[in-house]
Amino acid sequence: MFVCDKCGQCCRHVNLSSIYHDLDRGDGVCKYLSGNLCGIYENRPLLCRIDESYEILFKETIDKDEYYRLNYAVCSKLKAKE
C-alpha cells in the first residue's frame, strides 16, 4: 500500500498537472483541501487514489514497485517546495 504522510503538498499543487485542472481553486491549491487533509476524502477522485488508480488504470502498463517509485519521487519534489 502506498504510504502517504499527509503533508498535503500534492493537493497544494494541482496546477502542475492538467489532469487535476478541475480541482484548482485558482491559485494551484485544490478547492477541497482543508488544512493538510482532503475535505472529500471518502469521495475524492480516482486520480487522487494512488493504489486504486494503479489497479484500474496502470496495472497493465507498469510494475507496481516502479509505479510507487515514480509517485514517491513526485512526493519528494513537491516536499522540496515546502
Positions touching ligand SF4 (CB under 6 A) are: 4-11, 14, 23, 30, 32-33, 38, 40, 44-45, 48, 75, 78
Taking the complex as a whole, how short is the minimal distance between the CB of residue 60 and ligand SF4, in angstroms?
A: 23
Instruction: Tell me how far, at minimum, the Cβ of 77 lies from ligand SF4, in Å.
Output: 9
Give the C-alpha separation, 57 to 63, whole Å.
12
Least distance in Å: CB of 27 to ligand SF4?
13
Query: What value, to the nearest 5°, has the Cα angle with vertex 26 and ends 22 and 28?
Result: 80
CA distance 76 to 66: 15
